[in-house]
Amino acid sequence: MKTISAADANRHFSGLLRDVASGEVVTVLSRGRPVAAIGPVAYEGGLRQAARQRLLNRLRENKAFGVRNWTRDELYEA
């Protein structure tokens, strides 16, 4: 894990982002104390899309029931 001062992180932010994009986690120090950790975002595109599709399929299979005789205004009354 790499550490960098807050001032250097500010001056070299684009380089810092390149390091993070390559998978490195960077700890930012302020007055010698760690204040932040910057790391790559975990991308779960495939898993998230599959879960979304399962949810939509389940919602489509379940039929609506009950009486719906309310208006939109009634839903948002204070």
Q: SS3 string of 20-62?
A: HHCCCCEEEEECCEEEEEECCCCCCHHHHHHHHHHHHHHHHHC
More confident residue, 24 or 65: 24
- For residue range 4-56, list pLDDT tens digits in order: 999 999 999 999 999 999 999 999 999 999 999 999 987 777 888 899 999 99
pLDDT exceeds 90 at position 62: no
Q: Regarding the domain with residue range 1-62, which homologous superfamily does it belong to in the CATH classification?
A: YefM-like domain (3.40.1620.10)
Domains in the chain: boundaries: 1-62
User: pTM for the complete prediction?
Assistant: 0.55
Place of tokens 């998230």: 48
User: What is the band of 78 on the pLDDT scale with cuts at 50, 70, 90?
Assistant: low
